[in-house]
Amino acid sequence: MAEALLKVYRGDEKTGKLVDYKIPVEAGMVVLDAVHYIQGYYSPDLAVRWNCKAAKCGSCSAEVNGKPSLMCKTRLDDFDLSQPIEVRPIKTFPLIKDLVTDVSWNYEVNKTIAPFKPKTENTDEWKVYQEDVDRVQEFRKCIECFLCQDVCHVLRNHDKKDLVNKKDLFAGPRFMVRLAGLEMHPMDVANRIPYIKNEAGVGYCNITKCCTEVCPEEIHITDNAIIPLKERVVDEYYDPILKMWRAITGKS
């Protein structure tokens, strides 16, 4: 039977190191299977998050050979098995242990987003057509794996996570996706554009598209969510012609 050598990060932020494990390789095996094998046969206390094993829940995010990936979707036979496979925790959030990081910052950010506010409470009056929600549905595919947050250099290298003063804050691609889903909802009447510009810091994004590259749901984060939001911010803040138009007609 074929074998793979996995190097898995073990320990906490300070004392951690890569530890070698030899794994028998079955057909169709994914990295998460290998990690489970380690738990089951070598090291029961290896910490890892997972739930669905089918790329639906967004729990098993890690960096495999330096690439932010879902472990349950990353197949061993995609690698050259004569080389070791390195599995590390995602880097943008503080490490708890082994492959598990503290992603609670993301949940805190979510709380600061104004909730959906419908035009009318009476759903009998709702007529919403598929063409109106196609866009929004793309954003609602998000499984909150936070891989985009992990890879985004604004969070990863520049660490713009200041939730206290919200001056040095970038909500990150995941929440740009969420905001786009709310802002483009045909029934929603809340205005989050000032929030998007000021608190959520959309201007920090320099549209370098790493988020789009890693999204397992293949959401076009930059093109369909962030850029349109940037354009909406321009409408409101940087476009004198539209400003005049609004002043004259009273419309937006």
Partner 1 sequence: MVNSASMATNDNFGQTERRDAWWLAPLLTALGLGIFGIYATWAAFQGVNYEWGPYLSPFYSPLLQFSWLPRWFSPALLILPFPLIFRGSCYYYRKAYYRAYFVDPPACAVGEILPHKNYKGETAFPFILQNLHRFTFYIAVIFIAILWYDAIVAFDFGGKFGIGLGSLIMLVNIILLSLYTFSCHSWRHLIGGRLDCFSCSKMTEARHKAWSRISLFNEHHMLWAWMSLFTVGFTDLYIRMVAAGVWHDWRLF
Partner 2 sequence: MANLNEKLETHECDVIVIGAGGAGLRAAIEAAERGQKVAVVCKSLLGKAHTVMAEGGIAAAMGNVDPADNWQTHFKDTVKGAKYMNHWRMAQLHAQEAPDRIRELERWGAVFDRTPDGKILQRPFGGHTYRRLCHVGDRTGLEIIRTLQDKVVHTPGVEVFMECTISHLLKDGDRVCGALGYWRENGSFVLFKAKAIVLATGGIGKSFKITSNSWEYTGDGHVLAYDAGAELIDMEFVQFHPTGMVWPPGVAGLLVTEAVRGEGGILTNSQGERFMSKYDPERMELSTRDIVAKSIYQEVKEGRGSPHGGVFLDISHRGAEYIKKKLPSMYHQFKELADVDITKGPMEVGPTVHYVMGGVKVDPETCQSNVPGLFAAGEVAGGMHGANRLGGNSLSDLLVFGRRAGLGASDYVKGLSNQPKVDDTDVEKAIQEMLAPLDRSEGETPYEVHRDLQRVMQTEVGIVRTEEDLKKALTDLKEIQARAEKVKADGLRQYNPGWHLAKDIKTMAKVSEAIARCALQREESRGGHTRLDFPEYSNHWSKHNSIIRKESDGSMTVSTAPLPEMPPELKKLFEEEKH
- Both tokens of residue 201? 């810091």
Nearest 5 degrees, angle CA 181-CA 101-CA 4?
105
Which x/- pattern over 145-184 shows residues binding ligand SF4 (rule: CB under 6 A)?
Answer: xxxx--xxxx------------------xx--x-------
By CB under 6 A, residue 219 contacts ligand SF4: yes
Query: Smallest Cα–Cα separation from 43: which of 98, 124, 123?
Result: 98
Q: Where are the alpha helices (DSSP H) in the chain?
A: 31-41, 104-111, 130-140, 147-151, 153-156, 173-183, 193-197, 210-214, 227-237, 240-249
Residues 28-47 that bind partner 2 (CB under 8 A): 28-30, 33, 39-41, 43-47
By CB under 6 A, residue 144 contacts ligand SF4: yes
Nearest-approach distance from CB 231 to partner 2, in angstroms: 22
- Binding residue for partner 2, selected from 22, 83, 137, 167, defined by CB under 8 A: 137
* Piece of 49-57, 103-111, 130-138, 199-207 that binds ligand FES (CB under 6 A): 49-57
**How many binding residues for partner 2 (CB under 8 A)?**
60
Which x/- pattern over 22-61 shows residues binding partner 1 (rule: CB under 8 A)?
Answer: ----------------------------------------
Judged by beta carbon distances under 5 to 8 A according to partner kind, the member of partner 1, ligand SF4, ligand FES, none in contact with residue 82 is: none
Indicate the Cα dihedral angle 60, 61, 67, 72, nearest 10°: 20
What are φ and ψ of residue 7, in 5° steps? -110, 110
